């Protein structure tokens, strides 16, 4: 499949992932009110953490493994079985931890536990990583679009008051599970034969191979997900409501760069193994997307405040300052994806890639802790997010430039020695 067709499928998938929450956002903000809306956002943040744990970074590592084996159905079936089994073990672990937390902590009640498990089961069963690794994005896009549409209808039909915040969260949490059910015909077409030869050794190997990817993926996702629980702890559910409105506007940019990553990642992974020089050309060309990133940052700064007032009303004016504080994030996200995810992850620097993600998380947490003494919790988290993403963007860009320079010099020396 050509990159244009892949990009089209991914665009449709990510458009659904952006448009559906954006359509729900003003409705939920007005129907639930700031406090109940904050609880709704808090529950969804916990479900996202559970989903990240079950995904275990397989979104990157398993997709990379599937890309070069796309023409070997036996390997693909075996990989599918091993990843699903590994995710099943992680899902069981999430269930045990959530049950313990539900018994001993007021932060997680039974409705929250149900939402967590809906999300975890969906993460286990929906093999979007496989469809993207095989460069079949439409097989991932169709279930996502259908599930998002069903959830939108259910949300508007069933959620009408602040007391239904838990139901609202459950509807959104069930989307990955609905995707898994809808995608079942595609999975059956690939084949389930790998489960007949499934071995514990193969499952353990997948967990071992995915460890560094998991650490890095977890660190990246925590920087996105953790702010909501942090704001809740510092400022309460009302502050979460303000922060969530701002963060959702910023997050509208994430799927655009997700399309970039998921379109180019399988191709770069393939070229890194078969034609590294051509892969570097593709990475250099991906930097043209910075034009889009700059335009989005400017739009968030100048137009974002009007969007907040128009969609949510004067109750959410605090979100305006948060949007402007985080408006540079699209530029930083674009740089990190091009330099870290495309280059470092695929060109043999996975340990450095993992370390960079961890350092970004540490920088975020340290910044939030320090800033919480000087400003309110929501603003501290907003600035901390920029600092954490900035560490990853700047460090990975420097790493890429130095590494490419050294590769080029080594190639020139080799050529010179051969000519001599």
pLDDT per position as a tens digit, 273-289: 888 889 999 999 999 99
Would 222 be classed as within a structural domain? no
Judge whether 214 lies within some domain: no
**Does 284 share its domain with 145?**
no
Residues 128, 270: one domain? no
pLDDT tens, 289-323?
999 999 999 999 999 999 998 888 888 888 999 99
Q: Are residues 108 and 190 in the same domain?
A: yes
User: Which of these three, 150, 179, 209, is where a domain ends?
Assistant: 209
Confidence label for 419 from pLDDT (cuts 50, 70 and 90) = low
pLDDT at 317: 87
pLDDT class of 397 with cuts at 50, 70, 90: very high
Instruction: Return the pLDDT at 420.
Output: 55
Task: Report if residue 311 sits inside a domain.
Answer: yes
Q: Flag whether 201 is in a domain.
A: yes
Tell me the DSSP string of 208-233.
HHTHHHHHHHHHHHHHHHTHHHHHHH
Q: What is the pTM of this model?
A: 0.69
State how far the alpha carbon of 298 is from the alpha carbons of 73, 323, 328, in Å. 46, 11, 8
Residue 306: other Cβ atoms inside 10 A:
10
Domain that holds residue 298: 228-420
What is the number of structural domains in the chain? 2
- As a whole number, mean pLDDT of residues 10-31 equals 86
Do 396 and 287 lie in one domain? The reply is yes
Tokens of 280: 């570097």
Residue 206 to residue 62: CA distance in whole angstroms: 8
H/E run at residue 73: helix 73-104
Token pair 């952006």: residue: 18
Q: Does residue 216 form part of some domain?
A: no
Which of 177, 209, 241 delimits the end of a domain? 209
Residues 268 and 392 in one domain: yes
State the angle between helix axes of 175-182 and 137-158 in degrees (0 to 180), rounded to the nearest 10. Answer: 130
Specify whether the CB–CB gap between 269 and 347 falls below 8 A.
no
In three-state secondary structure terms, 308 is helix
Domain identity same for 381 and 408: yes
pLDDT of the residue at 248: 81
* Residues 104 and 253 placed together within one structural domain of the fold: no
Q: Are residues 203 and 272 in the same domain?
A: no
Please determine, for residue 1, whether its predicted confidence score (pLDDT) is greater than 60. no
With respect to residue 220, please indicate whether it lies within any of the assigned structural domains: no
pLDDT at residue 415, as a whole number: 67
User: Is there a single domain that holds both residue 197 and residue 92?
Assistant: yes
* Residue 267 domain-assigned (yes or no): yes
More confident residue, 154 or 5: 154
Enter the tokens of residue 377. Answer: 């919790």
Same domain, 171 and 317: no
The answer to whether residues 24 and 168 belong to one domain is yes
For 71-86, what is the mean pLDDT? 90
Q: In terms of domains, do 367 and 281 share one? A: yes
Nearest residue to 98 via CA among 170, 50, 40, 166: 50
Using CA atoms of 299, 301, 307, 310 in order, give the dihedral in degrees to the nearest 10: -140
- Output 413 or 272, whichever has higher pLDDT: 272
The mean predicted confidence, pLDDT, of the chain is: 87
* Structural domain includes residue 19: yes
- Tell me the two tokens of residue 67: 């890309």
Predicted pLDDT of residue 331: 94
């Amino acid at each position: 499949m050509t990159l244009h067709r892949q990009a089209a499928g991914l665009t449709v998938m990510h458009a659904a992932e952006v448009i559906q929450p954006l359509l729900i956002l003003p409705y939920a903000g007005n129907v639930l009110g700031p406090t109940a809306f904050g609880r709704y956002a808090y529950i969804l943040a916990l479900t996202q953490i559970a989903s990240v744990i079950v995904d275990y970074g397989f979104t990157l590592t398993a997709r990379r493994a599937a890309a070069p084996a796309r023409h070997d159905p036996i390997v693909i079936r075996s990989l599918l079985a091993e990843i699903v089994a590994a995710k099943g073990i992680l899902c069981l672990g999430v269930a045990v931890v959530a049950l313990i937390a539900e018994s001993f902590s007021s932060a997680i009640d039974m409705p929250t536990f149900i939402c967590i498990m809906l999300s975890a089961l969906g993460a286990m069963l929906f093999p979007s990583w496989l469809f993207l690794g095989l460069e079949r994005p439409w097989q991932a896009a169709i279930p996502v679009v259908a599930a998002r549409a069903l959830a939108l209808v259910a949300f508007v039909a069933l959620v009408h008051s602040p007391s239904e915040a838990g139901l609202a969260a459950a509807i959104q949490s069930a989307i990955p599970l609905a995707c898994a059910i809808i995608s079942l015909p595609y999975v059956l077409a690939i084949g389930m034969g790998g489960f007949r030869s499934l071995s514990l050794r193969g499952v353990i190997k997948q967990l071992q191979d995915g460890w560094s990817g998991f650490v890095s993926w977890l660190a990246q996702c925590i920087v996105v997900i953790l702010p909501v629980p942090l704001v809740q702890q510092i400022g309460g559910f009302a502050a979460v409501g303000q922060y969530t409105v701002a963060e959702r506007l910023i997050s509208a940019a994430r799927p655009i760069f997700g399309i970039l990553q998921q379109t180019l990642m399988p191709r770069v992974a393939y070229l890194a193994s078969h034609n590294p020089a051509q892969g570097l050309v593709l990475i250099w060309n991906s930097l043209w997307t910075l034009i889009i990133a700059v335009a989005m940052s400017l739009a968030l700064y100048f137009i974002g405040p009007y969007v907040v007032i128009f969609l949510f009303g004067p109750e959410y004016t605090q979100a305006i300052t948060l949007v402007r504080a985080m408006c540079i994030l699209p530029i930083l996200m674009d740089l990190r994806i091009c330099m870290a995810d495309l280059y470092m992850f695929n060109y043999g620097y996975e340990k450095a890639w993992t370390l960079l993600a961890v350092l970004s998380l540490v920088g975020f947490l340290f910044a939030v802790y320090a800033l919480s003494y000087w400003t309110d919790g929501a603003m501290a988290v907003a600035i901390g997010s920029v600092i954490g993403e900035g560490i990853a963007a700047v460090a990975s860009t420097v790493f890429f430039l130095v590494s490419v320079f050294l590769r080029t010099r080594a190639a020139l020396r080799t050529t010179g020695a051969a000519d001599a």
